[in-house]
Structure 1
Amino acid sequence: MKRIIVVLGLCVLAACGGSGNSGPEPVQRNAGINVLLITVDTLRADHLSAYGYPRNTSPRIDELAGKGVLFETAFTYWPKTRGSFAALFTGLYASQHGLTVRNRDLPDFNQTLAETFQEAGYRTGAALDNGNLDQALGFAQGFETYEQTWLTGETELERTEAITDFGLDYLSATDDERPFFLWLHYVNPHTPYDPPEALLSQFRGDGVIPRGPELEIVTGYHGGLNRHLAVDGETHWGDYVDRYDAEILAVDAHVGRVLDALAASPHAEETLIVFTSDHGESLGEHDYFFDHGFDLFNPSLRIPLIASFPGFLPAGERIHGTVSTLDVYPTILDLAQLSFPTGRAELQGKSLLPLVRGTTSRLHPHIFFQNDQHLMAITNGRLKLVRYPDTKDRGAQFRLLDMYRDPAELENRYEGSEARIAPFEAQLSSFRTQTVAWQQATDTKRAGPSTEDEELPEQTRRSLESLGYIEK
């Protein structure tokens, strides 16, 4: 009977036209469905088979896509872990939620996605690997259980196993009848790329990816291979793409184990699955090797986004419209029929259901991006305008990219296009001005100084060091 109530409630919602941040109120406080959010760190959409990659890196993720909706043009708002998940879990821009370049934690005045589910009577749990998500930085808000695997797992494989085991135990629990919100975050394929040899051997020398140029060893991430990432005997570009792809194959198997456990559980027909990433990875594009977030080019911004919900979301559907990680919060609430938070900033994303239902082909006229280097950008799905910050020697610089004509984003078309794109540039300028006003309001809401990385537990700092966030 519970399943019938869920489906009927959702069909009523669909008949009402859905609920973005300005749509009608959900028809029911709590339809009782479960939510499984699986995120994979540093995962480029174009290295998944479901997104057209020629290697078979992701058979289980592909299977999930075949049972749900795949969004072909999904972007992260902020191409670093902290900024990305702060936006995903609040539905807000950085200057609104408070985790910025200057303040590196998520303040407790936010109403996170997990808190919304907790207040609706859900049990909430998370298991993760990445010290950037330490509970001291505010990411545990709303979670009854928050398993930080880097505190106990010595190797990436041990931590990956711990996340999967946590998920299997959570899905098999029978002592709590409440619906659940479960988040699992795997760090692979983040650097250092260290896949099991058995998986790496499936790709090494397969002829799909050329070995490419020999890479110079460098201290940073531009112009060659970072000295901390170098593996003995592996000196060519293709060697490290092989390793990246093998890490995807490794995490794909763990995603598959979780999905199998869900399918074998009583929750299978009552669980919404959302699969995505926090950001992509630059694999040498623009001379930027095996890192992310320094620029606002698509290798760092494009991410996979898949949603599956038996009986409501269509199977095997592919959506072309441009979407953002900011849309995840309102979409999950829409599907779960939970009320949108009140007494707080308006959600900046929109529910993706109108795209799924086909009532619109374009959800956003434009979306924005920011990063840790003070860059800002706007895109309408075809054009992307990037603003580089002022310096003492010159004013702001701009790069205009046409992603249809120049998918590699190599040609700056700004010069000579100023008049034609003036409205576009004005929108970016207006957003920049608005972020200043938002930031001023946010600063007044902070209860105290932000948590600095130096204050984090030693194990967390070791995790950040191993991932390249703290210099060794």
Structure 2
Amino acid sequence: MKSERDPQRCPGARRSRRLLVLAGVILSACSASGDGPAPGAPRLVVLYSTCTLTKEYLSPYHPEVEFTPNLQAFADEGLVFERHNTEAGQSGVAFASIYTGVQADRHGVYHHPRHLPDSLYLATEAFRDGGYRPYFWSGQPLASAELGYGQGVRDGDVYYTHVMFTPQAKHLPEGFFTETTANGPELDAVLERLREHPQAGAFLQINFTITHELYHEYANIEKVEAFRAAYPACAGDFSREEIEEELALFEAHRHELQMDFPRAVERLGLDEADVRRLDAVLRLVYMTCVHQLDTYFGRFLDKIRAAGLLDESLIAFTADHGETFYRPSEVFHWMHGLQLAPSVIEVPLLLRAPGLGIRPGRYAAVTRSIDVFPTLAGLAGLKLPLDARLDGSDLSAAVLGERAAPELLAFSHTSTLGAPRVKRYRRDRLAMAEAVMPEPVPENMWVRVRAGDRIWQTSRVRPAEERTESFDLAADPGRTHDLFDPADEHDRDMAAKLAAYRRRLVDGFRDEEDMSQREILDRLKGLGYVGGDR
């Protein structure tokens, strides 16, 4: 059953409402679905999934990074998935794949905002049916309970913790960060229930973002200056005033810089040095955001540890997609969704469950966002219904070392954006966005497949012809040397698989909207994805 809410509710809602919610959690402690998890299964299962997090600034993937100590400590006790790939670089699509274990041709989300169909079987429903009581910290407004991303969670167990993205940065109180990262009293109440009822189990589905652009909305100048003082190697050679000037420039010209970079730099008179300076400032603020995320994740783990439940828990940390910063080889910068850059598609996945016998280490094989749900279900001993027909694989046996990791192909695609967004970009004459997605149909999507360290990608920036390329990410992470050879049998086979994948997406596409174009546009404007009227 889908949860209803006041669309404007955020962590600043009235205290009386908060107290009623907490009272409901505690008073209904004995009314959880089922009889609790099976013997030997983890009592607490957590799917902690944030938004817009690139592996580039996480020490489990880049040991030189010093400012994510909590994620490093978590990784040291768990499993680091080295080649994990998301379905798409857009939140609605990516979270749909994580929560349903299927891709867009079945979950139906080719762009956001979209409702997830009731006919799907979600992780929240599977854990409910397996004896766990599901809770949803709904902190990503484009993958919210309101849009069907928390099916199976009772209304009183959904906590809306998001604020709407906006074209201009706004002040966010510290209470927002505590609540959206699941560090508020709602978590305390859930943990207390588990302490009081030793047979009970809980499944926590958490999504949010505190690393999305505008980055300085989540890390104001005071936080940036504190980060620079704590980590001088990341500080850069800027004055505070210079940082503020660069952020003001980005805020004022954000969409043009993102969606039509060549025109923006020409119109603004920016040379290569100017662009790299802007990029350095944006990276600095983003690193501050990532450090802040690490701090709150550490506090979340501390609460579970203090409740005596950490070693009885199965905890997965992941992200919907990453982010692209300035790279001359990319079409788009400081954004995600319109291209298949590795920094966007290759996302973190960390897994910790010592009580299940998961040994710390590295999982080197390719994995996909569609594998997260079935793998967590397998580790928790859940029996999924046959008609669930997930696209993803249950990797629990490989994770536990009981069998070799399967060799999987990871398919990804770009978003169709949706008609209101395409029309707005056309109106604003954002030429590069229009060249990539002239019409909001799946025939225009870029598609990619990964096998080991090789990727094959079919893309098009009109009016140029569509092209298929291949790169070895281990030997050539910057993708400067195209290995695709149409005379090579293996390359032809992978190109055929890409074509079949796109046909599957085209065949599954339904262009009818489940909300009015005005409602979609209003949401996108409120989230800062399109500019306002002018």
Q: Using structure 1 for the length normalisation, give the TM-score.
A: 0.80
Deviations 1:416-438 (A, max 9, x none): 6555511111222222233344x
Report the alpha carbon displacement of residue 405 of structure 1 after superposing the two structures with TM: 2.3
SS at match of 1:181: strand
Matched, 1:180 2:180: no
- Asked if residue 283 in structure 1 is aligned to residue 283 in structure 2, the reply is no
Q: Is the 8 A contact 1:71 1:319 kept in 2?
A: yes
Change (3 A) 1:339 1:203: same
TM-superposed CA distance for 1:113, in Å, is 0.4
State the match for 1:65 in structure 2: 75
2:478 counterpart SS class: coil
Q: 1:230-283: CA deviations, max 9, x gaps?
A: xxxx95322111111111111111111110111111433321111111111101
Q: Please point out which of 101, 112, 136 is paired with 2:146.
A: 136
Distance 1:137 1:337, change over 3 A: same
Distance in 2 between residues matched to 1:244 and 1:32, nearest whole Å: 34
Identify which of 103, 121, 124 aligns with 1:114. Answer: 124
Change (3 A) 1:151 1:294: closer
Q: Give 3-state SS (helix, strand or coil) of 1:351's partner.
A: coil
Q: What are the superposed Cα offsets for residues 177-224 of structure 1, whole Å, 9 maximum, x if unpaired?
A: 631011222301111112152454333782457669x98865231538
Give the deviation of 1:92 after TM superposition. 0.3
Residues 97 and 369, structure 2, Cα contact 8 Å, conserved in 1? yes
Q: Structure 1 stretch 382-391 or stretch 298-307: which is displaced more?
A: 382-391
User: How far off is 1:379 after superposition?
Assistant: 1.3
Q: Secondary structure at the match of 1:283?
A: coil
Whether the 8 Å contact between 1:377 and 1:386 is mirrored in structure 2 is: yes
Which whole-Å CA distance do the structure 2 matches of 1:291 and 1:313 have between them?
Answer: 39
How far 1:365 sits from its partner (Å)?
A: 3.7
What is the distance in 1 between the residues matched to 2:310 and 2:64?
A: 31
Q: Which amino acid aligns with 1:126?
A: F
Amino acid at match of 1:244: Y
CA contact 1:321–1:355 (8 Å) conserved in 2: no
Instruction: Tell me which residue corresponds to 2:411.
Output: 368
| Structure 2: gaps (5+ residues) | 1-36, 165-169, 268-275, 417-444
Relative to structure 1, the CA distance from residue 76 to residue 200 in structure 2 (aligned partners, 3 Å threshold; closer, same or farther) is farther
Does residue 423 of the first structure (1) align with residue 461 of the second (2)? no
1:19-38 equivalence runs, <5 A: 31=41, 33-38=43-48
In 1, distance between residues paired with 2:153 and 2:486?
52
5+ long unaligned stretches in structure 1? 1-26, 228-233
Aligned to 1:409: 479
| Distance in 2 between residues matched to 1:416 and 1:251, nearest whole Å | 44
What corresponds to 1:4 in structure 2? Answer: none
Cα contact 2:92–2:113 (8 A) shared by 1:
no
User: In structure 2, how many angstroms separate the alpha carbons of the residues matched to 1:86 and 1:69?
Assistant: 24
Q: Contact 1:79 / 1:278 at 8 angstroms: preserved in 2? A: yes
Following superposition, the deviation at residue 59 of structure 1 comes to 0.9
Q: Is the 8 A contact 2:414 2:446 kept in 1?
A: yes
Select 1:302's aligned residue among 346, 359, 364.
346
In structure 1, the residue matched to 2:370 is 326
Which residue of 2 is the match for residue 147 of structure 1? 159
Measured in 1, the distance between the counterparts of 2:113 and 2:193 equals: 38
Whole-angstrom CA distance in 1 between matches of 2:176 and 2:343: 26
**Hey, what's the Cα distance between the residues in 1 that align with 2:519 and 2:402?**
49
Residues 65-464 of structure 1: pairs in structure 2 closer than 5 A:
65-101=75-111, 104-144=114-154, 145-150=157-162, 155=172, 157-163=174-180, 164-165=183-184, 166-173=186-193, 178-194=200-216, 195=219, 197-198=222-223, 200-203=225-228, 206-208=232-234, 218=253, 219-221=256-258, 223=261, 236-285=278-327, 286-287=329-330, 288-344=332-388, 346-358=389-401, 361-373=404-416, 374-388=445-459, 396-414=466-484, 419-437=489-507, 439=508, 450-452=514-516, 454-455=518-519, 461=523
Deviation at 1:143, TM superposition (A): 1.7
Structure with the larger helix share: 2
Q: 1:141 & 1:154 partners in 2: Cα distance?
A: 32
Aligned length in residues: 428
Task: State the partner residue of 2:271.
Answer: none
Q: CA deviation at 1:83?
A: 0.5
Q: Equivalent residue for 2:421? A: none
Q: Secondary structure at the match of 1:384?
A: strand
State the alpha-carbon separation in 2 of the partners of residues 242 and 84 from structure 1.
26
Q: C-alpha distance in 1, partners of 2:40/2:414? A: 36
**Alpha carbons of structure 1 residues 77 and 360: separation in structure 2 relative to 1, 3 Å:** farther
Identity %: 22
Q: CA deviation at 1:159?
A: 2.4
State the secondary structure of the residue aligned to 1:183: strand
- Return the offset for 1:339: 0.9
Aligned-residue CA RMSD in angstroms?
3.4
Q: TM-score, normalised by structure 2?
A: 0.72
Which residue pairs with 2:440 in the alignment?
A: none
Counterpart residue type for residue 67 of structure 1:
E
> Which whole-Å deviations, capped at 9, do the CAs of 1:134-160 have from their partners, x for residues lacking one?
333211212222222236997274322
> Once the 2 structures are TM-superposed, how far is the Cα of residue 77 of structure 1 from its aligned partner?
1.5
- Looking at structure 2, the residues matched to 28 and 143 of structure 1 have their Cα atoms a distance apart, in angstroms, of 20
Conserved in 2, the CA contact under 8 Å of 1:376 and 1:386?
A: yes
Secondary structure of 1:51 counterpart: coil
Residues 382, 142 of structure 1: alpha-carbon distance in 2 compared, 3 angstrom cutoff:
same
Shift of 1:57: 2.1
Distance across 2 between alignment mates of 1:125 and 1:379: 34
Deviation, structure 1 residue 300: 0.5
Aligned AA (2:281)? D
Whichever residue aligns with residue 59 of structure 1, its letter is P
Going from structure 1 to structure 2, the CA distance change for 1:365 and 1:38 (only over 3 Å counts) comes to: closer
Change (3 A) 1:244 1:156: farther
Counterpart for residue 22 of structure 1: none
Alpha-carbon distance change, 93 to 211 in structure 1, aligned in 2, over 3 angstroms: farther
